[in-house]
Amino acid sequence: MIVEQAPAKINLALHVRARREDGYHEIETLFAFLQDGDEVRLAAGPPSFVVEGPFAGALAGEGDNLVTRAAYAYATAFAGPADGAFTLVKRLPVASGIGGGSADAAAALRALARRDGVPLDDPRLFAIADGLGSDVPACLLGRSALGRGRGEQLEPVDGLADMPVLLVNPGVAVSTGPVFAAWDGRDRGAIGDGALLGRAVLGRNDLEAPARRIAPAIGDALSLLIDSGGTRLVRMSGSGATCFALYERPEDRAAAAEAIRTARPGWWCLESALA
């Protein structure tokens, strides 16, 4: 059994610069990863895929998943059989802006590479990741990075290891396509230079406004995080609906989590730290 973690991804900043003729958008984003997320297990055997965990129900009956797509793309690229029994432990909410499916696909690629002795920096793995989705290369890299293009052009940056973080999702699934389609088309400028936290604080998420129009509960989540003490940064991640706060101290994160769980008992909260 090979076990790979699929940590949650957050966008510390996400600047949309232009619409592209291929239907994608030119972006700049600061990726960061948490110490918690989903888990992908790979065992010997014929091709199979099982989902378990608290959010397994959201993928029930889904015959085509990014994990299985990753496995078949890997078999094609490396001219091998598409074998392997995958189990996905789904701990992250789906369609939530924290890269759950992309992280799962990247973890599947890492598991297959470990099984076959393929170096994790093999360019073929990143080519597969790029074909699977815009966030998959960043999740395969698995460290803080500046992403350009669709997000697949990566420049690693020094991270904020162990900084306390709280994720909050108001129980709303938001599809990426409609949020990008609702972007107003205005280029508000590039991500600046300097240390990662400073760049993030001076940045923004250009998808927040359209996402809030689609899912107003995002505004409620941001307000509750802003009102909590000891924050360094509060922002929506990706195209939503998950929002996050970075904290000075674990005690501040814990107090905020308790307050939000009391005020919104149906919401999803994850207390973690940056990797």
DSSP designation for 49: E
Q: Which of 9, 36, 38, 104 is catalytic?
A: 9
Q: What is the CA radius of gyration of the chain?
A: 18
Q: How many CA atoms lie within 13 A of 213 on its CB side?
A: 11
CB within 8 Å of 216: residues ≥ 6 apart? none
Other CB atoms within a 10 A radius of the CB of residue 236 amount to 28
Q: Biggest alpha carbon distance in the chain? A: 54
Kindly name the residue from 38, 135, 206, 252 that is annotated as catalytic.
Answer: 135
Active-site annotation holds for 220: no
pLDDT in tens, 28-83: 999 999 999 999 999 999 999 999 999 999 887 666 689 999 999 999 999 998 89
- Distance separating the N- and C-terminal Cα atoms of the chain: 24
Alpha helices in 78-99 (DSSP H): none
Domains, the chain, ranges and CATH?
A: 2-156 (3.30.230.10), 164-273 (3.30.70.890)
Number of H helices, E strands in the chain: 9, 10
The pLDDT tens digits for 200-239 are 999 999 999 999 999 999 999 999 999 998 999 999 999 9
Residue 129: name the closest of 117, 142, 145 by CA: 142
Does residue 9 carry a catalytic annotation? Answer: yes
CA-closest candidate to residue 100, choices 108, 92, 88 = 92
**pTM of the full structure:** 0.96
